Every structure is written in structure tokens, then in C-alpha cells.
Amino acid sequence: MLRKVTKGGIMKKFLFSALILGTMLSLAACSSGQSNTEGSGGKESRSSQQESSESSSSNLTSSTSDTSASKSDESKSTVGMNLNQIAAGDYTSIAGTWKNEKGETITFNGNEVSGNGVDNVTLSLNDPSFEDKILFINATYDSKTDSRPYSTGIYFATAGLSPEIKGTDKSDTTKDRLILLRDGGTSVFGEDSGIKYFYYRVTEAK
């Protein structure tokens, strides 16, 4: 016996099918959105980790570069005058060129000194001795190359050190310095007339 199908029944079945289809599409859309969100989050996380790694690498490179530059600057820094070494015959701490306010220069090379400050001859350093806390050395002409007699004395004073004199040291006590003197003594450090004769380092020996 055939059952009669009414228009109302057909409509109900259509609406029910449409409801089920809509629910399935909605679930599919939610699943796709979640997947995209997770993928985006993963990309952002990986991007953040990469940026952090690159930043750390950059900081390490910068730190290494700064350290190298610092060491390089230290290696180029001026070697201070060492009176004990000079007295022992080691002249490396005074090697190079020195100049006074008059524009005269002298250059130390080993135990020899030359330049227009010593009449363009070469003198040999000898007989070091300490006097009033600073160092005194004789500088004599090498008679093997020229018969002209020439000798002078040189006083050496390190930065911050002054001889024991009356009055104030007129030289620049913030620097290593020296003065050539044929006669007299450490009192020249306290005389205004001696200021222009003090030599200060210009360059070190290469």
C-alpha cells in the first residue's frame, strides 16, 4: 500500500537536510580557521626565535669587535718613561723623538741620542745615577768618528715626579720630560728661564 507524501513532509525533510548541511559547513570552517591560526602562530614563533638569535649574534659580534678595538688601542698607547730600566741600560722607554718649546728635537736610539738639540751629533749615554729622586745620565760624543769634544748631562723625570728643589717645578709635571744641561743641577726645574728647554715626547720609535 503506497503512503501518500504531502508537501509539508517534503518541506520538513528539506529543512532538516539544509540544517545538517549548514552545521557541517560551519564545523569545517571552524576547523580550517583553527588550523590557519596555529600555522600563523607557529610562523610568528619561529620568526621571533630567528630575530632573537640574530640579535644575540649581532651583540656577540659587536662585543668581540669592541674588545679587539680596546686591545688595539692599548697596544698603541705610549710606553711611560721607566727610570730604573734606563739606569740599568734599557732605553726602550725613552726611544723615539722628543721636542722642546724652542722647536729643537732629539732622538733616542738604543744608548745613543742625536738631533739638532745636540748640535746634530750622536752622543752615547753612560754613567747613570739618581739625583734628588730623578735620573741623571752623561751623554758624550763618540771620539772614534770625530775629534770634536762634546758632552752634556741629561736629567730624566717621569710624569708626576719632581726633584727635591726649593720652590715649584716649572716643567709640565703631567708628562715625562727631560732636559739637557752642561752645568748646574736639578734647580733648573724651578727656574722660569729653563721652561723652554724641557723636552717632551713627540713620537715613539717604530
Domain annotation covers residue 153: yes
Domain annotation covers residue 77: no
60 and 88 within one domain: no
183 and 99 within one domain: yes
Residue 47 confidence (pLDDT) = 53
Tens-digit pLDDT profile for residues 163-179: 999 889 999 999 999 99
Residue 124 confidence (pLDDT) = 94
142 and 65 within one domain: no
Domain annotation covers residue 154: yes
200 and 127 within one domain: yes
Tens-digit pLDDT profile for residues 95-124: 999 999 999 999 999 999 999 999 898 999
8 and 43 within one domain: yes
196 and 95 within one domain: yes
94 and 39 within one domain: no
Domain containing 185: what range?
83-204
> Is 34 a residue whose pLDDT tops 80?
no
Residue 22 vs residue 164, higher pLDDT = 164
> Is 190 a residue whose pLDDT tops 60?
yes
90 and 55 within one domain: no
Residue 203 confidence (pLDDT) = 86
14 and 115 within one domain: no
State the total domains in the chain. Answer: 2
Percent of the chain at pLDDT > 90 equals 50
Which of 20-34, 62-76, 82-96, 158-172 has the weakest average pLDDT? 62-76
> Is 129 a residue whose pLDDT tops 60?
yes
> Is 72 a residue whose pLDDT tops 60?
no
Q: How far is CA 132 from CA 18, 43, 94, 164, 189, in A?
A: 113, 77, 20, 5, 11
Cell numbers placing 115: 738631533
